[in-house]
């Protein structure tokens, strides 16, 4: 029996994870995943936004993430990386597999390249505030897609975001500080 997910909390501001859509996404191996329950609940995650045909900021983002992944692994830090395609109309799971392979990370079980339906993609970005505030389109806007990495620890509701172009060592430290923190005492004391 699966334990109840920790986003079910009483009182306070609804937790970030409580608003993350639990839609079905597929990873680069074609496997279906429930975005919230399978990938976010009880996890320490770094979520990035990319698309395989991007010749703008994505190559830098992924190159940076490759470096961050190595740093976190070297630090024996538990983490999971999720890279969501913001171009679901074109990106297939095969494209993502090729993309992951191209960056030499296709073998990593804790890094999943994901694609969702266009509507779910927009919903995920909105829930994580990873779209430009004015973007209200039904389909993701590729040009202004978020250059932020959203990261956090679902069990403590401590979340933050950081520019994906930031130096890898700084992303590593920011993530570790957030992920290892026991969170915000005043709120946690209120959890019955």
Partner 1 sequence: MKYAITVVSKSLEEPFINRMKQNRRQFVSQVGMASILAAESFPLLLLASKAQAGDLLPKLPTVPRYTPHSVPLPLPGRLAPTVLVPAPGSPEASLGSAAVYHGIAPEYSRSHPAHQPYWDLSPERHYEMAYEDALHEWVPGIQTPALGYNGLVPGATLRLRVGEPAVVRVTNKVDIEASVHLHGGHNPAHADGHPCFYVFPGQSRDYYYPNVLPRHPVTGEADISHSNSTLWFHDHANDVTARNVIYGLAGFALLTDDLEEKLFEDRILPALDTADGQQAPYDVPMAFIDQALNRDGTVFWDPLDADGRLGNILTVNGAAQPYFEVERRKYRFRWLDSSLARIYELRIVRGATAIPFLQISNDGYLFPQPQLVSSVLLVPGKRADVIVDFSKFEAGTKLYLQNIMQQSNGRKPDGIDPARPMNLVEFRVKGPVVPNDVSVGLGSALRPYTPIEASEVTATRRFDFNRSNGAWQINGQFWSPFRSDAVITSGTTERWILQNKAGGWWHPAHIHLENHQIVSINGVKPKKVWSYLTDTSSLEGNMVIEVLVRFRTFTGPFVFHCHNNNHEDMRMMSQIETVPRNPATGLPMPPMLNGKSFSVDPAVCGIPAGDIQANPHLFH
Assigned token pair, 156: 């403590």
Count, residues near partner 1 per rule CB under 8 A: 75
- What's the full length of the chain, in residues? 192
Q: How far is the CB of 96 from partner 1 (least distance, A)?
A: 20
Return the half-sphere exposure (C-beta side, CA atoms, 13 A cut-off) of residue 27: 19
Q: How far is the CB of 52 from partner 1 (least distance, A)?
A: 17
Smaller CB distance to partner 1: residue 113 or 151? Answer: 151
Q: Segment near partner 1 (CB under 8 A), from 4-12, 26-34, 92-100, 101-109?
A: 4-12
Question: Would you count residue 117 as binding partner 1 (CB under 8 A)?
Answer: no
- Indicate which single residue of 1, 107, 133, 138 sits in contact with partner 1 (rule: CB under 8 A): 133
Smaller CB distance to partner 1: residue 106 or 161? Answer: 161
Burial class (CB in 10 A: 0-12, 13-18, 19+), 4: exposed
**CA separation for the pair 88, 137 (Å, rounded):** 14
- Indicate which single residue of 34, 38, 66, 165 sits in contact with partner 1 (rule: CB under 8 A): 165
Nearest to 177 by CA among 156, 191, 192, 148: 156
């Amino acid at each position: 029996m699966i334990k109840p997910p920790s986003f079910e909390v009483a009182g306070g501001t609804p937790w970030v994870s409580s608003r993350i859509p639990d839609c079905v996404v597929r990873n680069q191996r074609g496997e279906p995943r429930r975005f919230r329950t399978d990938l976010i609940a009880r996890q320490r995650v770094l979520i990035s936004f990319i698309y395989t045909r991007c010749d703008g900021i994505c190559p830098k983002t992924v190159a940076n993430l490759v470096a961050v992944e190595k740093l976190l692994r070297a630090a024996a830090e538990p983490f999971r990386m999720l890279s969501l395609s913001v171009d679901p109309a074109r990106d297939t799971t095969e494209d993502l597999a090729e993309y992951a392979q191209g960056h030499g990370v296709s073998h990593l079980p804790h890094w999943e390249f994901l694609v969702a339906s266009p509507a779910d993609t927009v919903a995920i970005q909105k829930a994580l505030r990873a779209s430009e505030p004015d973007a209200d389109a039904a389909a993701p806007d590729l040009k202004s897609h978020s250059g932020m990495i959203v990261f956090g620890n679902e069990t403590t509701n401590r979340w933050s975001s950081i520019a994906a172009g930031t130096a890898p060592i700084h992303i590593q430290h920011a993530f570790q500080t957030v992920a290892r923190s026991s969170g915000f005492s005043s709120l946690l004391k209120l959890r019955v």
